[in-house]
């Protein structure tokens, strides 16, 4: 991959409209220091020094896309509650549109509160509703998505599924069918509940845990032969064009058609893996929409996922850092075609 090709892909990002359908949330952080153990129970006492709210879940995917220069259109349903006001304030501060966000008194705005001392993640508290959308609410939400797709030129659609009840089978099926009609690429960051409901999508990105739970088979992250075999079988059974299985320190396994490639992890100083999956799916969507090959998209996404793991908390990728890293990586490795085997 030449510098010209890399520059062309990254330049194309700013012309992309990418629809992000998924569970949004507020990532709340409570920072402090631990100096002693509580006399009431064997737990650390955190002397809180700072609180911070950030966009999380599918909203973090939108942040990553925005950081890449693309135009994300975030579609979700949140609660009619105090936290929704905070969520809209965060959207506005990030320069993200709220046109795809619905409010319902039957839902809650999800909040994940992380308690952190230094770089040590001590505790997470989740406030949420995880039941499926009611039939009427789901129909209204699907109609809203349909109207956005028909009115705007959409280059890719990401399903960011956190099993919070927003993404239901009817929504998946109807959106995939609509995307086919408009020749839009569809990408999925799956969870357990809907794992087998995404037949026919362009790109499917489970991590190892999600894959083993989804197909109900056990194997280890270093067993690349087993991962390739089961990923390929799943991909072909559900007519998925490209499947990228992320394996943490063991890199990624890419399967597409009758081909596969193992992409090793980059050596990093890992501070926090939170949000790495959001970054990977965001970069993959932007790259594929910019006409990168599956292997090129996977390699760039692998670089980006590693970069955000060097940061504490859920943070989006930085465009210039990713581009520089990509240029350096491809300069050092002259021929990536050897990574693909029939």
Active site residues: 278
| Alpha carbon distances (Å) from 312 to 1, 205, 272 | 31, 23, 5
Nearest to 58 by CA among 285, 290, 247, 243: 285
Handedness of CA 87, 90, 94, 99 (dihedral sign): positive
Q: Would you give the distance in Å from CA 276 to the centre of its chain?
A: 7
- 159 neighbors 204 (Cβ within 8 angstroms): no
Query: What is the DSSP-derived secondary structure letter of residue 216?
Result: T
Helices (DSSP H) in 13-168: which residue ranges? 58-68, 82-94, 135-151
Q: Which distant-in-sequence residues (6+ apart) come within 8 Å of 326 by Cβ?
A: 6, 10, 299, 300, 303
Determine how β-strand 242-246 pairs with β-strand 252-256. Answer: antiparallel
Query: What is the DSSP-derived secondary structure letter of residue 107?
Result: S
**Distance between CA atoms of 173 and 53, rounded to whole angstroms?**
34
Nearest to 127 by CA among 67, 184, 79: 79
**Distance between CA atoms of 152 and 43, rounded to whole angstroms?**
52
Hey, which residues does 160 pair with through a beta bridge?
A: 22, 189
């Amino acid at each position: 991959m030449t510098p010209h090709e890399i520059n062309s892909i990254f330049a194309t990002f700013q012309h992309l409209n990418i629809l992000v359908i998924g569970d949004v949330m507020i990532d709340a952080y409570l920072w402090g220091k631990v100096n002693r153990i509580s006399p009431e129970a064997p737990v650390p006492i955190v002397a809180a020094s700072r609180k911070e709210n950030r966009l999380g879940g599918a909203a973090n995917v939108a942040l990553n896309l925005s950081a890449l220069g693309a135009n994300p259109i975030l579609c979700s349903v949140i609660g009619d509650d105090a936290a929704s006001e905070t969520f809209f304030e965060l959207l506005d501060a990030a320069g993200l549109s709220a046109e795809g966000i619905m409010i319902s008194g039957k839902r809650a705005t999800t909040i994940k509160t992380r308690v952190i001392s230094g770089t040590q993640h001590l505790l997470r508290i989740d406030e949420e509703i995880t039941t499926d959308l009611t039939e009427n609410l789901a129909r209204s939400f699907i109609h809203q998505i349909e109207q956005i797709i028909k009115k705007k030129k959409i280059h890719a659609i990401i399903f960011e599924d956190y099993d919070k009840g927003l993404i239901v089978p009817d929504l998946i099926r109807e959106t995939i069918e609509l995307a086919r009609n408009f020749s839009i690429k569809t990408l999925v960051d799956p969870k357990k509940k809907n794992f087998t409901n995404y037949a026919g999508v362009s790109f499917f990105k489970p991590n190892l845990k999600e894959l083993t739970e989804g197909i109900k088979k056990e194997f280890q992250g270093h067993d690349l032969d087993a991962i390739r075999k089961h990923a390929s079988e799943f991909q072909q059974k559900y007519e998925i064009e490209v499947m990228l299985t992320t394996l943490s320190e063991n890199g990624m396994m890419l399967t597409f058609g009758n081909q596969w490639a193992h992409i090793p992890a980059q050596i990093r100083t890992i501070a926090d893996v939170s949000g790495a999956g959001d970054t990977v799916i965001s970069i993959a969507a932007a790259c594929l929409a910019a006409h990168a090959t599956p292997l090129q998209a996977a390699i760039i996404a692998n670089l980006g996922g590693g970069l955000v793991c060097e940061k504490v908390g859920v943070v989006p990728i930085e465009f210039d850092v990713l581009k520089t890293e990509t240029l350096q990586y491809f300069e050092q490795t002259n021929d990536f075609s050897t990574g693909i085997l029939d």
